[in-house]
Each structure stands twice: as C-alpha cells, then as structure tokens.
Amino acid sequence: MRNVGWMVLAVLAGTATAGVGEAKPSKAQTPAAENRVPETKEAKAAREAEAKAAAQKAADEAQVVRTFAAGTPEAALRDILHCGADISDESAAFDCWVKLHMTSNRDTETAVTQLKHYSWKVFRSRADSYAVKPMATTDKDFAIRIAHREPEKCDAAAKECKFFLVSRVRDLPAPVTLRLEDGQWRIYSISL
C-alpha cells in the first residue's frame, strides 16, 4: 500500500514510468547528458592501452603448467580442453565435455540442452586458445597458463578449485571452477 502512495505522488509530479510502478528520477536527481564531457579518442585509446597492458602483465606473470598428473585438477583442465580442441566430431566432442561436468549440471535434458546451446558453443570456439601455443593437448609440449587459482594449493583437501586461464584471444583470464565428485575433478562452473 505504501508503494501506491508513492506512485500517486509520482503520477501527480509527472515522474512515473509507464506500467512499472516506480518513479523515474527527476532531472535534478540525475546529471544531464549535455553536461557530460565526451571521451576523447586519445583518452579512449589510453584507457584501452592500459587495460591491454594490465591483461598482458597478468599473462606474463601467469604460471605455465606443463605437467598434468592423473587425478589432479590440472589434468582435469587438460581433459576439458582436449574435448573442445582436439576432437573433430562435434557430437563426440560435446559428449566428452559434458561427461566432465558435475552430475548436477547434466542430470536433466534441460540442463544438457542449456550446456549445448550456450556454454558449449562459446567454449568450443575458444578451446584451443588456452594452450600457450597452438597444439593438441596430447602433444608432449602442451602447456597452459594459469593467471590465478583459489585456493593457491588445489588438492583433494580443497574439494573445490577455481582457475583463471589465460587465452590468446581474450583480454582477461577466464574462470573455471572444479569440484571433487566421486574422486574426480569435474566442472562446476565454466566461462572459458
């Protein structure tokens, strides 16, 4: 009832939004667009260069991982990238990738459909960019860069690890969270 009173006042004052039930800010409450100074080309270029330099610094400081011992979260990351980058058959690649998800992420048809139409498409297009150099995940020189991990020591005691992987095509490292399920590291959430 209290909101209705404010709505009546907003209508009388001429500041109500159509059909939403909330008052829009008056001109006195928001800075006028004409008072804003547009960003110059030089300022925009400087801002973009600063962001790119920060991303490059993160990439340079990232830990390069070349060893993927079985049963470790790093091995799970390699397996995830293998599904997206090395398997040419689309259906087989998706089946490989979806099996690496937590059971709760893939326990219904709707969940699998969501993964296939959203996460998978983006991941598939970028998967090979997470290798330090373009190569198959089975190559002996395969390596990835981890910009950051939470916690710093990811092992079975941690039960959950979040990695930020450096990509050759993205400006900022991308997160993937792994959880231990039935003795295996599985994808809990992924933004690769």
Query: With 90 as the cut, is the pLDDT of residue 8 above it?
Result: no
The pTM score is 0.68
Q: 115-151 pLDDT, tens per residue?
A: 999 999 999 999 999 999 888 888 888 999 999 999 9
| 142-143-145 Cα angle (round to 5) | 160
**C-alpha–C-alpha distance, residues 112 and 95, integer Å:** 10
The DSSP secondary structure of 7-56, one letter per residue, reads HHHHHHHT-BPTTT-SBPPPTTTS--GGGSPPPPHHHHHHHHHHHHHHHH
Hey, how many other C-beta atoms are within 10 angstroms of the C-beta on 20?
Answer: 9
Residues making up the chain, counted from first to last: 192
Q: 15-43 pLDDT, tens per residue?
A: 444 445 555 555 555 555 556 778 899 98
Hey, how many other C-beta atoms are within 10 angstroms of the C-beta on 90?
Answer: 10
Percent residues over pLDDT 90 in the chain: 56
Q: Where are the domains of the chain?
A: 57-190
**C-alpha–C-alpha distance, residues 66 and 68, integer Å:** 7
Q: What are phi and psi of 138, to 5 degrees?
A: -85, -10
